Structure 1
Amino acid sequence: MTGTGRIIGTPPLMATEITPPGSFQENPLAPPPTKEKPLSRSAQRVLNCFKLHRAGYVEDKVRYDYDPCRSSLTIRMPCPLHDIFCAKIVEEISRQLKQFAQREKPYAGFAKEVQHLATSRIMIPDEIRDGKQIYSKREPDASFKHRRARYPGVIIEVCYSYKSRQVSYLADEYILDTNGSVNAVVALDIDCKGSKKAAITVWRPEYTTLDGVEELQATAMVEALPFRTDSGLPAEETALRLSLRDFATEELSRGLTSLDQEISITSRQLCDFLSCAEEEQRGQTLLQGSINLLRPGAGKRRRPQTPPEQLSSEEGELC
């Protein structure tokens, strides 16, 4: 993803992957008091990133994924195009779920229980250390979860160049570390350099047998399927298909009929969503659009400002 950086252990950061060049090379914004334990260089760099963001020097929103077992921090700073495109997809899935919920059918009650979690944090079990379960923190671009399920059944990630190379590993983590509770990881790659091409990949849990041993794996059932061509035209196929069954675990689906009802989004719809997001980003970049004008002779009264709270050393730590 453009503007996404990754911190692994203590090696030097690629500052250009996270925030404007030079931001992490500067001296710490506020040295810790002498009585506090000094932060490691990696932790101080991360703390500086969030301080710069709060001070307004980093324009994009900040979300992050953290894997304590691998000392890995991924900072996500999505742009308007990313957020708007994802919001359009979420809106369409939610609209179709609502239609199912309003029908007098056996699956209506199930559909009512599915909720959109936006970018809510997901705690995914990793390894057990000293008898204690360690969890990774993930903040997907969007997810849908049945109210009685622990994990989302459907996760959506919008991919740029960096993230598109990493999302297959994310799919493994989402699906394998939840024992297949995540039924679909949808990745939409909208960063095809030099063309307008965009594609979709959908990973699902699949059991296979190798040398007599059954294994769970994340399989790309739909792989890099274009929904927009190099020239910017929609492809012919329906790009995304999800069933109601995808939104919950096998336990919650067991005994319920008609959960094969399908939610679908065509390539043309995805193209329209992406074009809308691109147009909005252009408008924001060029500062276009209608605004109100201040009445002649009127001034502005602002509230008195108080100093912002400081980030503590504890908040800056990576574990």
Structure 2
Amino acid sequence: MRRSTLSTMSLVALPKSRSAKEDSAMDSLRRDISKSNIYRVLAAFKDLQNGKFYQETPSDVDLPITVDEYKQVLHFLDKHRSLGGLVRDKIRYDYDQDDCILTLRMLSGVHERLCAVITKEIGRQLDAIGTGSGRQATFARRVEDMRSTSIKFPGRADSCSPDASFKYRPAKQANFVLEVSYSEMQLNLYKKADKYMRNSKGLMQEFRNSDGDPIDHAKLTLHLSDFAPTKFVKKHLQGEDADIIITGKALCDMLNAVERTVAGELDTDDEASLPSDDDEMECTSSFNGRNDDDDDTDDMEDDSASESQDSRTPERADEQT
């Protein structure tokens, strides 16, 4: 749909002014050698904003930055909304305060689409449970797809951007997170899983072997109770749980279909960069909020109110850009 000339001019004019301020602030950081780490991180964000990195850097990018420097980066992004909005909405990154590393996540088309398909299937099964009546249905209708919303850790500067996340509506942040990884990134996956799984229940499941075949008995088994903190599970489900299951074969079928789709969209010269069927695949799910820190004041309404106020986010299977 074409926007009107007036709307287009209005949208373009405002970021120009902010961009000039950003450029001036960036130039000041560049000249201050004591803030070189801050500048490098912000410059990387700017490069991504300008469309760089993706063709040149197929793997994740690690940038050293201390906790205090990272806080200054966040302050800069809060102050300069043009870049800050892009980082918040479009750029995937993790920060580890123990290692003082900020990792820019460079995700392939296969990775992004597979995550979207898996997330859609989880949402479909939640919707199916939600069409019924009773505690399970009411509970399921209050689980929201948060996509890759950043996860914060209480008392720490760490921040992670999972491949997918779901939040139970009275809770303060996402309670269930999902990560998908190829085997060559296995070490990073285990490290990230450990961070998510502190004080939580979690699992890691390999579902495709090096021959490209489904692994026997492999499946992703989730429970409705995994999507909310314990206090909400006890109060709202009262022991009435339900399963969400995706078999290993179904996961393999999803991956194979995504690989074929992406391969068909690439030029012949680019097909060599696609992950091959020799790669093993793993997915990690973590039930991140098994604590009772969430405020209970925004409690569940009765069944009829929940049905009339259902605000579950519809899932899109298209690739994020």
Counterpart AA for 1:41: S
Match of 2:116, SS state, is helix
Q: Do residues 239 (structure 1) and 219 (structure 2) align? A: yes
CA distance 1:97–1:31, shift in 2 (3 Å): closer
**Residue 137 of structure 1, CA deviation:** 1.5
- 1:144–1:152 Cα contact (<8 Å) kept: yes
Correspondence 1:79-98 to 2 at 5 A? 79-98=108-127
- 2:167–2:173 Cα contact (<8 Å) kept: yes
Q: Do residues 158 (structure 1) and 188 (structure 2) align? A: no
CA distance 1:230–1:33, shift in 2 (3 Å): closer
**Residue 170 of structure 1, CA deviation:** 2.1
Q: Provide the rounded CA distance (Å) in 1 between the counterparts of 2:46 and 2:92.
A: 14
Q: Provide the rounded CA distance (Å) in 1 between the counterparts of 2:184 and 2:259.
A: 19
CA distance 1:229–1:98, shift in 2 (3 Å): same
Q: Do residues 174 (structure 1) and 196 (structure 2) align? A: yes
List per-residue Cα deviations over 1:57-109 (Å, max 9, x = no partner).
Answer: 22277411123464221110111000000111000000000011111232111
Alignment correspondent of 2:163: 141
- Who wins on radius of gyration, i.e. which is larger? 1
Alignment correspondent of 2:35: 40
List per-residue Cα deviations over 1:123-153 (Å, max 9, x = no partner).
Answer: 1124xxxxxxx43211111011111123433
**Residue 159 of structure 1, CA deviation:** 1.4
Counterpart AA for 1:234: P
The two structures have a TM-score, normalised by structure 1, of 0.59
Alignment correspondent of 2:93: 64
Gaps of 5+ in 2: 1-22, 56-89, 270-321
Alignment correspondent of 2:261: 280
- 1:144–1:154 Cα contact (<8 Å) kept: yes
CA distance 1:35–1:59, shift in 2 (3 Å): closer
Q: Which has the higher strand share?
A: 1
Alignment correspondent of 1:253: 233
Q: Provide the rounded CA distance (Å) in 1 between the counterparts of 2:116 and 2:158.
A: 25
Alignment correspondent of 1:271: 252
Alignment correspondent of 2:130: 101
CA distance 1:35–1:276, shift in 2 (3 Å): closer
Match of 1:110, SS state, is helix
**Residue 34 of structure 1, CA deviation:** 9.0
Q: Provide the rounded CA distance (Å) in 2 between the counterparts of 1:140 and 1:62.
A: 12
Provide the aligned C-alpha RMSD in A. Answer: 3.0
- 1:244–1:259 Cα contact (<8 Å) kept: no
Counterpart AA for 2:115: C
Alignment correspondent of 2:76: none
Match of 2:192, SS state, is helix
Counterpart AA for 1:267: G
Q: Provide the rounded CA distance (Å) in 2 between the counterparts of 1:224 and 1:96.
A: 19
- Between the aligned residues of both structures, percent identity stands at 33
**Residue 155 of structure 1, CA deviation:** 1.0
Gaps of 5+ in 1: 1-27, 127-133, 185-201, 203-222, 289-319
